């Protein structure tokens, strides 16, 4: 999976007292692009391409994909970058291909072979018996080739120097782990997981659990939150739309990252209070009692804030406030 689950935002906004590097076209309010990342480029490469094509300065992505991985990469533009964490921390679905008989230093097909074994003894029944051990809340040791920092240094930099250090295990959530195909030595898996999970690690660890070796052969991210692969756009498609001048039609609205939360509509006085970061008292009967967070709209239908419900005081506290146009 990704070398890092930290969101990335890139901007050419001038420093105080400085001047812009280039002239930019008008900046849009914000929204999300559901991009189908191709193999052979980093998630940051995609950001740079999107910025170049659209002319938007403030662009980020919702969860890193390894260069060899393909599939859904949510791209956040403008004010939508404030909600990147909704994708980074949300559920994701992957289609992974594991190859038994060989392990590598990167845990995937791009790495150097570190061990080989005979995979012919592995059976589907043995795999099915081992998979429950990787379900639920599990401890996972990140691979050395990852962007996690240890004492300020990213692990992959140490790995490239030929160094391997002890890594602290991390608690990750695996909601689903199902066999989609099996033809020795190749296993197909559908993985539904939370943030911080490494598909490369689970394949490597599965090989060890079976007394064998394994590496990740292929990885496709088929879903991030509500964004699905069959609705994603290619970079070529985005380029064609920018040339035609209608690329903004591909944008999903900012609240598309929040649709799993209940909504409240506030009056002008409450809207002004929220704009100053103040709490409000929701109307009686508003569907907030069972929710930890809600999305707040003004009477014009504009999303103005993400709010947190305080069940003790019965009020809504601003978490992120968006200035309305």
Instruction: Report pLDDT digits (tens) over 170-206.
Output: 899 999 999 999 999 999 999 999 988 999 999 999 9
pLDDT at position 193 is 96
Portion of the chain with pLDDT greater than 70, in percent? 90
Look up tokens 């920092």; give the residue.
Answer: 149
Query: Residue 119 corresponds to which tokens in the numbers above?
Result: 């995979």
Hey, what domains does the chain have and what are their CATH numbers? 8-90+226-255 (3.30.70), 96-214 (3.30.2350.10), 261-321 (2.30.130.10)
pLDDT value at residue 7 = 47
Round to whole Å and give the CA distance between 2 and 118.
29
Asked if residue 231 has pLDDT above 80, the reply is: yes
Q: Where does the pLDDT of residue 6 fall: very low under 50, low under 70, confident under 90, or very high at 90 and above?
A: very low
Average pLDDT over residues 280-288: 68
Beta-sheet pairing, 263-265 with 293-297: parallel
Q: What is the pLDDT of residue 20?
A: 54
Q: How high is the pLDDT of residue 260?
A: 86
| Residue showing tokens 């189908």 | 36
Task: Report DSSP letters for 168-206, one per residue.
Answer: --EEEEEEEEEEEEEETTEEEEEEEE-TT--HHHHHHHH
Cα–Cα distance, 93 to 84 (Å, whole number):
17
pLDDT, averaged across the chain: 88
Residue 208, Cβ neighbours under 10 Å: how many? 12
* DSSP code per residue over 216-259: EEEEEEEEETTEEGGG-B-HHHHHHHHHHT-GGGGPBPGGGGST
Question: Residue 5 — very low, low, confident or very high, per pLDDT cuts 50/70/90?
Answer: very low
As a whole number of angstroms, the distance between CA 243 and CA 262 comes to: 38
In the DSSP assignment, the letter for residue 13 is P
**DSSP tag of 85:** H
Active-site annotation holds for 66: yes
DSSP assigned state of 166? -
Catalytic residue among 7, 12, 45, 66, which? 66
**Whether residue 2 has pLDDT greater than 50:** no
pLDDT one-digit tens code per residue, 36-67: 999 999 999 999 999 999 999 999 998 888 88
Reference 223, options 196, 185, 193; nearest CA is 193
Q: Which residue has the tokens 């400085």?
A: 18
pLDDT of residue 286: 58
The CA distance from 44 to 77, in Å, is 14
pLDDT confidence tier of residue 270, bands split at 50, 70 and 90: very high
Q: Report residue 94's pLDDT band, with 50, 70 and 90 as the boundaries.
A: very high
Q: Where are the beta strands (DSSP E) in the chain?
A: 8-10, 30-37, 59-61, 70-78, 92-100, 102-104, 113-116, 136-140, 149-150, 153-154, 170-183, 186-193, 214-224, 227-228, 263-265, 293-297, 303-310, 315-321
């Amino acid at each position: 999976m990704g070398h890092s689950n930290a969101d990335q935002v890139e901007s050419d906004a001038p420093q105080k007292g400085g001047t812009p590097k280039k002239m930019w076209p008008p900046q849009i309010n914000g929204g999300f692009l559901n991009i189908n990342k191709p193999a052979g480029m980093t998630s940051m490469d995609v950001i740079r391409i999107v910025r170049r094509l659209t002319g938007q300065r403030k662009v980020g992505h919702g969860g890193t994909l390894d260069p060899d991985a393909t599939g859904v990469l949510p791209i956040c533009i403008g004010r939508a970058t404030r909600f990147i964490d909704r994708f980074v921390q949300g559920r994701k679905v992957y289609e992974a291909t594991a190859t038994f008989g060989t392990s590598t230093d990167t845990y995937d097909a791009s790495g150097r072979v570190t061990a080989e074994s005979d995979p012919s003894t592995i059976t589907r029944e043995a795999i099915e018996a081992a998979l429950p051990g990787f379900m639920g809340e599990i401890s996972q040791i990140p691979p050395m080739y990852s962007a996690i920092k240890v004492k300020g240094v990213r692990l992959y930099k140490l790995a490239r120097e030929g160094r391997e250090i002890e890594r602290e295990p991390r608690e990750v959530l695996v909601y689903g782990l199902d066999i989609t195909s099996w033809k020795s030595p190749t296993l197909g898996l559908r993985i539904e997981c939370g943030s911080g999970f490494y598909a490369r690690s689970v394949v490597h660890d599965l090989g060890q659990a079976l007394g064998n070796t394994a590496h990740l052969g292929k990885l496709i991210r088929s879903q991030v939150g509500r964004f699905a692969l069959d609705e994603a756009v290619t970079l070529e498609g985005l380029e064609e739309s920018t040339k035609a001048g209608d690329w903004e039609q591909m944008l999903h609205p900012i609240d598309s990252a929040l649709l799993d939360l209940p909504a409240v509509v506030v009056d002008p006085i409450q809207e002004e209070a929220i704009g100053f970061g103040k709490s409000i008292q929701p109307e009686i009967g508003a569907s907030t009692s069972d929710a930890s967070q809600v999305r707040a709209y003004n009477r014009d239908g504009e999303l103005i804030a993400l709010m947190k419900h305080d069940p003790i005081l019965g009020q809504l506290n601003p978490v992120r406030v968006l200035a309305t146009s």
